[in-house]
Amino acid sequence: MPNVRLPANGWKPRGYQVPLWRYLERGGREAVAVWHRRSGKDEIALHRTAVALHERVGNYWHMLPQYEHARKALWNAINPHTGRRRIDESFPVELRKRTDNQGMLIEFRNGSMWQLVGSDNYDSLLGAPPVGIVFSEWAVADPRAQGFIRPILLENGGWSLYIYTARGYNHGWSTYEGALKRKRSFAQRLTVEDTGIFTAEALAEELQAYKDDYGDDAGTALFRQEYYCDFSAASLGSILGSGLERAEAEGRLFTTMAEYDPTGPPVFVSSDIGFHDAAAFWYWQPRVDGVALVHYEEESGFDADDWVVKLQEVPIPIDTLWLPHDARARTFQTKRSAVETFLASPVARVIRVLGQSRTLDRINAARRMMRLCWFAPGTERGVNALRNWQFEYNAERKMFSREPLRNWATHGSDGFSYGAQIAPDRVTTRPPMPLSPGVRAATSFRLDDFALVTPRAPRL
């Protein structure tokens, strides 16, 4: 094997990067680095991995939020300071046995393998499991990837490194806070004031550029997020960010006051289902002047029969299960539709199918309903999806997308928005007036008493 010194090309960690490097070098198994933009997060991760895969033969993954972005972000990326590909600087070609450009995989002469992967397809990755993994841009990745990979690393004694900037109080915040509490983990949050790599003049110019591009409020929030790792800054394009901030300030997030009340009104469930994808189910229990989200379920790889079993295991009886409009067509790979499967089961007293509605109508309904929502403990995963429901910003056109970004947060957010269209008719804004003796309630029928219901567009 060629004699090559690692880290390669004379690279050395910067002063503020040394504590993280030493932690990993000494066998640390969980490191969380919430560092500001342009602080060299991927750079230190690549070089440390290059050393690690020669210390222990095994598979190593560098995971980005989406596989399709990995090629541009890292595989083909050029270091502007040297003009060389970043992977060539970290992984010298002399140490390689082969380089698979299509699969973004490098096999080394000592038997180790390094590969770029995406959190959007973590459960379909083939081959030997990793002994080391870097979660790059973790705050916008699919948090379910963590639950899939942690047991693997626990079993084989592997390590994980999370590198990202802040994106509000989502799973990135939880990962950082969790690492702070664990004695053997490494947790570090670095702002531009901690690293000192930018001058005050450069930061002032950058702040003004953000304001010019996004407006004063959004630009300032994004600047705080990117350069000061400010978790409290609202994410750019967030759809329900302000509503969730208000809910948190008012104590409506993860409160026992929102737990299921067996003596209360019947529970209805709104859902979103996917083919070869995740499905999400929100449990709603109307209350006076509001509604409690008493439970949340989300999984991937389940078919309708699996969901029938899982939903019946939840100790909350479902009065009405609302399925999305396309549940008649999607089949979860079975011979009958999801609707037919649920109808043939005892999972709920009534099964309903929503009519098709515009995305904007659902978004408006979700924003309006958020003011009345209380979330029980155990719904954190669903709320995390709502925090990450956002429009994508096109920097070149300087405008947001017309449709929300489709990512891991889509199903939970869509399922909530469907329920938000249903909930207003079920929320009691004041206690019902008692009927006078001898007075009978009028018999009436409503459109949603039928099997197919088209939600009304909310008033804007």
437 falls within a domain = no
Are 189 and 74 in the same domain?
Answer: yes
Report the run of H or E that residue 203 belongs to, with start and end: helix 200-214
* 313 φ, ψ (degrees, to nearest 5): -80, -20
- What pLDDT, on the 0 to 100 scale, is given for residue 3? 82
The residue behind tokens 């939880």 is 174
CA pseudo-torsion sign 239, 329, 281, 449: positive
Give the pLDDT confidence of 12-25 residue by residue, as tens digits: 999 999 999 999 99
Are 122 and 210 in the same domain?
Answer: no
* One pLDDT digit (tens) per residue for the chain, 460 residues: 678 899 999 999 999 999 999 999 999 999 999 999 999 999 999 999 999 999 999 999 999 999 988 999 999 999 888 889 999 999 999 999 999 999 999 999 999 999 999 998 887 776 678 999 999 999 999 998 998 899 999 999 999 999 999 998 889 999 999 999 999 999 999 999 999 999 999 999 999 999 998 888 888 989 999 999 999 886 778 899 889 989 998 999 999 999 999 999 999 999 998 755 689 999 999 998 799 999 999 988 788 889 999 999 999 999 999 999 888 765 545 567 888 899 999 999 999 999 989 999 999 999 999 999 999 999 999 999 999 899 987 766 767 788 998 888 999 999 999 999 999 887 765 544 444 444 333 323 233 333 444 444 444 3
Are 220 and 289 in the same domain?
Answer: no
89 falls within a domain = yes
Are 185 and 215 in the same domain?
Answer: no
The CB-side HSE value for 137 (13 A sphere, CA atoms) comes to: 18
Are 264 and 397 in the same domain?
Answer: yes
408 falls within a domain = yes
CATH number of the domain that residue 322 is part of: 3.30.420.280
250 falls within a domain = no
Are 105 and 24 in the same domain?
Answer: yes
Helix, strand and coil content of the chain, in percent to the nearest 5, comes to 40, 20, 40
Q: Which SS3 state, helix, strand or coil, does residue 99 take?
A: strand
Are 205 and 86 in the same domain?
Answer: no
* 183 φ, ψ (degrees, to nearest 5): -60, -35
Q: Which amino acid is at 410?
A: T
Domain containing 208: what range? 200-233
189 falls within a domain = yes
Cβ pair 420, 362 in contact under 8 A: yes
Q: Which SS3 state, helix, strand or coil, does residue 30 take?
A: strand
The residue behind tokens 């004699």 is 3
Give the global pTM.
Answer: 0.75
Are 282 and 191 in the same domain?
Answer: no
Are 185 and 297 in the same domain?
Answer: no
Are 320 and 407 in the same domain?
Answer: yes
Final residue of a structural domain among 148, 177, 195: 195
> Which two three-digit tokens encode residue 235?
């994410």
> How far is 114 from 106, CA to CA, in rounded Å?
5
Cβ pair 418, 272 in contact under 8 A: yes
> How far is 244 from 231, CA to CA, in rounded Å?
14
CATH number of the domain that residue 42 is part of: 3.40.50.300
404 falls within a domain = yes
Residue 118: strand pairing partners: 64
Nearest Cα to Cα of residue 270 among 302, 243, 294: 294
247 falls within a domain = no
- The 3-class secondary structure across 240-289, one letter per residue, is CHHHHHHHHHCCCCCCHHHCCCCCCCCCEEEEECCCCCEEEEEEEEEEEC
Residue 452: strand pairing partners: 353
Task: Please state the domain count of the chain.
Answer: 3
Are 165 and 300 in the same domain?
Answer: no
13 falls within a domain = yes
Are 189 and 204 in the same domain?
Answer: no
> How far is 356 from 189, CA to CA, in rounded Å?
45
